Structure formats: structure tokens, C-alpha cells
Amino acid sequence: MISATEALERLKAGNRRFVSETRDSDASSHQTRRRELAAGQAPFAIILGCSDSRVPAEIVFDQGLGDLFVIRVAGNIVAPSQIGSIEFAVARYGTPLVVVLGHSQCGAILATVEELGRRSEEQSRNLRSIVDRIRPSVETLLETEVANDPEALVRHAVRANIRTSVHQLRYGSALLEQMIEGGTLKVVGAEYSLETGVVDFFY
């Protein structure tokens, strides 16, 4: 298995190909690769991303079958099932890198901002469970100057929410924390721009 640094560089290179429209035509999606993977997998990165249809990780990073272990949930939030899925992949496949992938104009962030502006009784209990996980990231920003600029508020909230999820993964699991301290796992944040296609990684 490659190192976390190598995995990160592989994702960055794939995103550059995606942005420049020079995608790999042999991105491991042919029948031979499919048959190879029937015997087992060894994904080099785990992506905890938003469910937004405009942000498919395999395409954004120009990767193929078996390359990425992808977990998608609205707002790229962290809940026990997401932590468990990541623990599974790390322990079972030795995957060295976890990327929390958020994106600009995130609908879950917008829903949270609207919820904080005026309580919506129309939200289902299930949707509210997502909003409630994003809420702390947004509430902190409401005490700053960006609260007066709706677009800036959403931009900053997207980043804050990604950082919160990264923090929860780094310190919300004894297994993951142990592997991070041992140098066998890295957890980073990233934001995908719907406008440019560029993924900006941050730590």
C-alpha cells in the first residue's frame, strides 16, 4: 500500500487532469480490472464526501474501479456509521488516507443557515439530524462579521463544517487516533469548487 503522502499526490494529480480535461482514458474501468477486483480490493484513499450529485469523487479525482472507498452523506457530516465505515476500511484494507470532501454552495449548509434564521417545522426529524450536526459550525460564525454577508457566511460555513468533520474523525475514534499517532493514517479536509472543478486541500 502506498503512503498517505503518495495517496494525496495521486488525488491532486487526478484532480488536475479532471480540471484540464485530460482525464485518463484507462482509468481502471475496463473488464479486466473489474474481474481483478472480484477477488478483493485495496483502495488507496477513503473519501467522506457530500451526497451532492455534482461531486462524484471518482470523477473529480479521475480514479477508477477499486481506487477509492467512498462514503457519501449530505453535508459530509460525521456520525457513528461514517466513523465505523472508515474504521472498517482502514483496518481491513490498510488505506492510509482519509479526505473529508466538502464543496461550495453546499445545500446542507444552506439548509442549516436557513434553519438558524427561522426555525422550520417542516423539516423531517431525519433531515434535522443532519442540520443539527452542522449547526455548531454555523453558529460560531454568526458571532462574527461574516454573519452580515450571506454569501460569505455560507463560504466560511462550508470550510468550518469540513474542519469540524476532520476533527471528529481525528479525535472521535480510538482506532483512528492510534493510527494517526502511529503515522499510518492521515486525515485531511478538502473543498471542491462547483465553479472551477478544483479541489483545495487543507489540514
The domain defined by 4-202 folds into Beta-carbonic Anhydrase; Chain A (3.40.1050)
**CA–CA distance, 99 with 73 (Å, rounded to integer):** 14
Asked whether 99 and 200 are in contact (CB, 8 A), the reply is: no
Domain assignments of the chain as residue spans, ordered by start: 4-202
Is residue 27 predicted with pLDDT exceeding 60?
no
pLDDT for 25 equals 62
| Whole-number pLDDT of residue 122 | 67
Tens of pLDDT, residue by residue over 145-162, are 998 998 999 999 999 999
> How many Å apart are CA 196 and CA 201, to the nearest integer?
14
- Residue 129 has what pLDDT? 87
User: For residue 3, how far is the Cα from the chain centroid?
Assistant: 19
Calpha distance 7→45 (Å, rounded):
6
